[in-house]
A and B are shown apart, each in its own frame.
Chain A
Amino acid sequence: MKRKIRIALPSKGRLNQPSIQILQEAGINIVRKERTYISKTSDPRFEAIFARAFDVPIYVQYGAGDLGITGHDIILERKADVHELLDLGFGECRLVVAVPENSGIRSIDDIPAVARVATEYPNLCQEYFESVGKQVEVLVVRGTAELAPKLGLAQTIVDITETGETLRRNKLKAVATILNSTCRLACNRIAYRIFESEINELLEKLRNGGTSTK
């Protein structure tokens, strides 16, 4: 008998609820108990595991999860070698370069050649600044990049924004968009071969679930 197919989901944060919901719409109800990281689902062929959204790509690349739901931005940042099977449509956001509103910087060209940039996305940040010919010092922070300018850590940040609300509240403005992202269904390369029919069935249901865009 085949083993269960594991789907890795963001354990908390903005992607958690919509991920659970979209699976529900596709007929997979997750029976999650408090403080457990592996959950049964209403479909005996699948089980759910919960991980940090940032770690989901790694779980999938290494096969700890056969499938995973997480942001396109995160998959790229973690340079994960996975299949992105489906754009799930939700979790829309932009990865932007932001600076203080009162800084006088209007575009990426105004950023000084030796700037310090605080970000949770060191790889994408580095690649972006290299592509525009700027050598910047990238400081990796966890979760609170928008505080960096206030505290004098770095004037520039690279972070995701959905509505721009958090940026505004912190008196920051976006001066460039690095990429647009949505949530994706990622798949381990080997699992896709082994569980092709089951995964395709799920894909079909996710596509017809209403919220998907593709």
Chain B
Amino acid sequence: MQTPKGTKDYLPPEAERHRYVEQRLREVFKLWGYQEIRSPAIELVEVLSTGVGSELIDSMFKFQDFDGKIVALRAEMTAPAARIVTTKMLEAPRPIRLFYICNVFRYSQSYLEREREFWQAGVELIGCNTPGADGEVLALLASSLKKLGLEEVRIDVGHAGLLKDLLRATGLDKEKKFVLQNLLGYRDEDQLERFMDQNNFSSQLREAFLRLSRCRRLEELSSVSLEPLKYRRIKDYLRALLEVKDSLVEYGVENLVFFDFSLVRKIEYYTGIVFEASVPNLGLPLGGGGRYDNLIEKFGKVKIPATGFAVEIEKCLRALIAQGFQPLDKRKVKFLVASRFRDSAIKAVEAIRGAGVTALLDVTRDGRKKVLDYAKRSGADFVVFVDSSLEKSATIHDTRLETVTNMTIKAFLQSLEDDQR
């Protein structure tokens, strides 16, 4: 019996590591004032499809509900969050700060198979379109990844509106736009120039593409001047990017933020800045996000600007491990308590647990030898055979040192605590 393709079980050590990453992210999100939401794993397909674009829609697991409606497993959380805000939180004071940690599902047609179920942690900052809001989300992303213990984090920022408008201004057909987008990604000026010559770009447009694809840092955008006023909206975008940069300077994270004119996300609803976070040890982005000012109105006719990001738990964990970090708390001591006297055994585990130490009760009727053997194999550090009363000294086996001592549980716990100091 296997799990379906692209899904997996998380066994004890791995599940705990995942939980560690989740916990850390949850703590940071909460410290920044974000509040957790949960939503159903299945939703009506029209909810999940709103604004996300055909690539994501094609990748959704869809099926028919018993009432004939088509439902799907959520493939991301921004659309559900938008639904929640427009249907249940319209009265909430804005900006609204929400976060989620949940599994999402995507089916990929390519046989370069990735996980079909994976876990995301993300935030949405809803109801505000200031550069300060974008700055907060970027700074929170940087802070979250650093809090996890990741080193050499970098965030690459692009702008969905800027790229889209400039591509539209070229008047190229879909196929050529795609070629151009790839060229921008390759950062190959010679090829880019050749392409623009072949396609009769105006000198202004040429200049804009060349200059923007040369920028590696947000502050370099200040030297890009796009005259004449035909590109008014584009100028607004550039100004917004520069203001986001100012905000990042205030947070002191501008060093790890770069500009990439060619950056695009696979989801379509982005209208403003878009970004991806990565570390040098992992060849795939840890996550990303951006501004989506037109998505929420599609759910409820009220225009509400928003921005947010999501990171993948598994990728963060893999990056951590690649950087040699052990994302587990120091191994905790574990006891196994056995006794002929059931009531004193229960009193004993309660006393140990009361001291904040993990204690297992032997529920088998096995003899000493079997109990000791089980303790060793299941990672218990000490096996305690208690007498009829906790006042009497118990026989305590240290499974690693293979030594035996006789003392009361209270005294033993005390001695452990003294050792730790």
Nearest CB in chain A: distance from B319 CB, A: 10
Residue B18 at the A interface, CB < 8 A? no
Partner of A62, one of B216, B278, B283: B283
Q: A115-140 vs B: 1/0 string, CB under 8 Å?
A: 00000000100000000000000000
Is chain B's binding surface mostly helix, strand, loop or mixed?
A: loop
Smallest CB gap from A63: residue in B: B283
Smallest CB gap from A214: residue in B: B191
Residue B280 at the A interface, CB < 8 A? yes
How many B residues have CB within 8 A of the partner chain? 21
Contacts of A61 in B (CB 8 A): 112, 283
Contacts of A52 in B (CB 8 A): none
Flag if B110 contacts A79 (CB, 8 Å).
Answer: yes
Contacts of B278 in A (CB 8 A): 190, 193-194
| Range for the number of chain A residues in contact with chain B | 20 to 34
Flag if A62 contacts B284 (CB, 8 Å).
Answer: yes
Partner of B283, one of A85, A123, A188: A188
Contacts of B112 in A (CB 8 A): 58, 61, 78-80
Nearest CB in chain A: distance from B10 CB, A: 21
Residue B154 at the A interface, CB < 8 A? yes
A-B CB pair tally, cutoff 8 Å: 50
Partner of A190, one of B111, B191, B216, B283: B283
Partner of B260, one of A79, A191, A193: A193
Flag if B281 contacts A3 (CB, 8 Å).
Answer: yes
Contacts of B284 in A (CB 8 A): 62-63, 190
Nearest CB in chain B: distance from A130 CB, A: 13
Most buried by B among A190, A192, A194, A196: A190
Flag if A190 contacts B285 (CB, 8 Å).
Answer: yes
Complex Cα distance A68/B246, Å? 38
Smallest CB gap from A195: residue in B: B280
**Could you list 19 examples of A-B contacts with CB < 8 Å?**
A62-B283, A62-B284, A63-B283, A79-B110, A80-B112, A83-B185, A123-B111, A189-B185, A189-B283, A190-B278, A190-B280, A190-B282, A190-B285, A191-B283, A192-B187, A193-B154, A194-B154, A196-B187, A200-B187
